[in-house]
Amino acid sequence: MQRALSGMTVRHRLAALSSLFEYLCEKNAVTHNPVKGVKRPPVESYAGKTPALGDHQARKLLDAPDGASIKGSATAPAPC
């Protein structure tokens, strides 16, 4: 069974392997870095894919009453 990894995942793993082999080369444990000649997948974008809160969502969070206050305790669920 083969997994399809994103280009960024492949780039991160190759970078980790390359760092390991660079360290091993410095310590004379290996003669060369075999990852150095491996072509990395192209970068899709440097922007994150994690969705951010919108302005309206952030405003709702900031306007929500504090659960510890009297106003907040009226709307907050009762503790178990």
**Considering its fold, how many domains does the chain have in total?**
1
Q: Give a yes or no: residue 35 inside a domain.
A: yes
Q: Please state the pTM of the whole predicted model.
A: 0.52
Q: Which residue has the higher pLDDT, 46 or 2?
A: 2
Q: Which residue has the higher pLDDT, 46 or 38?
A: 38
Split at pLDDT 50, 70, 90, the class of 4 is confident
80 pLDDT higher than 80: no
d(CA 25, CA 29): 6
d(CA 62, CA 52): 15
Question: Tokens 């900031």 label which residue?
Answer: 62
Q: Give a yes or no: residue 79 inside a domain.
A: no
Give which of 52, 78, 75, 56 is closest to 65, Cα–Cα.
75
Q: Give a yes or no: residue 36 inside a domain.
A: yes
Q: Give a yes or no: residue 12 inside a domain.
A: yes
Domain with 23 in it: 1-43
3-state secondary structure of 26: helix
